[in-house]
């Protein structure tokens, strides 16, 4: 009985070692699996969404990224090419927000963001990413853990496309609004020109 109790106490003591409370391991960079021993990802749709400040990429122009949904404790966040099946982490993240840190992925020291501890994070945790100059389309990919035993894989943002300088469209915007505005302005000009004396 004493041996059984000792075994249970020992197992309880080492079990946190099989989670990663201080961030995802670099071995998770490619497949985004957090390596929590004996735990499988949730089969249900993720209660999280990745939102971006724009739908267009401009070299060197920061893009803010937010994970919305219920509070979470663990995260692994990367940008990837939408033009290939590569799992390389692209671009670089700026100074990580509180309770998060950089994770070196694909040889890139600032290629991914992960949690630095298990403190709760929410949609006020805002990440900032800088696009590289040789990429035309990307998306953001995340693994999000509510706790060690409850996590979702492959949460994906919409695709961002390289755009012209000064043109960006925030996620949730309507690309048809710009052309509608032009047509309205054209119609207004035509109406005014008809009203002017000749």
Domain count, the chain: 1
* Cα–Cα distance list, 11 to 7, 8, 15, 61, 118 (Å): 6, 5, 6, 48, 21
User: In whole angstroms, what is the distance from residue 51 CA to residue 37 CA?
Assistant: 30
Give the confidence band of 1 by pLDDT, cuts at 50, 70, 90: very low
- CATH classification at residue 152: 2.60.40.4060
Residue pair 171/55 in contact (Cβ under 8 Å)? The answer is yes
Half-sphere exposure of 33 (CA within 13 A, CB side): 9
Report the pLDDT value the prediction gives residue 13, as an integer from 0 to 100.
Answer: 39
Report the pLDDT value the prediction gives residue 21, as an integer from 0 to 100.
Answer: 82
Mean pLDDT of 40-48: 96
* Residues whose CB falls within 8 Å of the CB of residue 4, separated by 6 or more in sequence, listed in order: none
Give a yes or no: residue 6 inside a domain: no
DSSP characters for 100-158?
EEEEEETTEEEEEEEESSS--B-TT-EEEEE--TT-SEEEEEEEEEEETTEEEEEEE--
Give a yes or no: residue 185 inside a domain: no
Candidate from 56-60, 94-98, 99-103, 173-177 with smallest mean pLDDT:
173-177
User: In whole angstroms, what is the distance from residue 135 CA to residue 80 CA?
Assistant: 10
Report the pLDDT value the prediction gives residue 196, as an integer from 0 to 100.
Answer: 58
Give the confidence band of 162 by pLDDT, cuts at 50, 70, 90: very high
Residue pair 128/52 in contact (Cβ under 8 Å)? The answer is no
Question: What does residue 103 show for φ and ψ, rounded to 5 degrees?
Answer: -130, 125
Give a yes or no: residue 170 inside a domain: no
Give a yes or no: residue 187 inside a domain: no
Give a yes or no: residue 121 inside a domain: yes
Q: State the residue range of the domain holding 77.
A: 19-162
User: In whole angstroms, what is the distance from residue 31 CA to residue 43 CA?
Assistant: 16
Give yes or no for residue 178 having a pLDDT over 70: no
Give a yes or no: residue 169 inside a domain: no
If we measure between CA atoms, which residue out of 29, 121, 25 comes closest to residue 70? 121
pLDDT tens sequence across 109-138: 999 999 999 999 999 999 999 999 889 999
Report the pLDDT value the prediction gives residue 176, as an integer from 0 to 100.
Answer: 38
Give a yes or no: residue 54 inside a domain: yes
Strand-pair partners of 57: 162
The length of the chain, given as a count of residues: 198
Give a yes or no: residue 189 inside a domain: no
């Amino acid at each position: 009985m004493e041996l059984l109790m000792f075994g249970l106490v020992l197992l309880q003591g080492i079990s946190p070692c099989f989670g990663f409370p201080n961030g995802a391991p670099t071995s998770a960079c490619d497949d985004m699996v957090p390596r929590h021993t004996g735990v499988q990802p949730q089969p249900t749709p993720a209660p999280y969404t990745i939102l971006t400040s724009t739908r267009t990429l401009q070299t060197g122009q920061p893009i803010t990224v937010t994970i919305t949904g219920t509070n979470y404790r663990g995260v692994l966040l990367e940008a990837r090419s939408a033009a290939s099946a590569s799992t390389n982490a692209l671009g670089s993240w700026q100074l990580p927000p509180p309770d998060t840190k950089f994770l070196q992925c694909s040889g890139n020291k600032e290629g991914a963001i992960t949690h630095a501890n298990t403190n709760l994070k929410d949609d006020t945790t805002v990440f900032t990413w800088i696009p590289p100059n040789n990429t035309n389309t990307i998306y953001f990919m995340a693994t999000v853990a509510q706790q060690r035993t409850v996590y979702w894989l492959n949460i994906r943002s919409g695709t961002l496309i390289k755009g012209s300088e000064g043109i960006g469209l925030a996620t949730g915007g309507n690309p048809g609004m710009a052309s509608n505005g032009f047509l309205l302005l054209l119609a207004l000009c035509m109406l005014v020109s008809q009203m002017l004396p000749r």
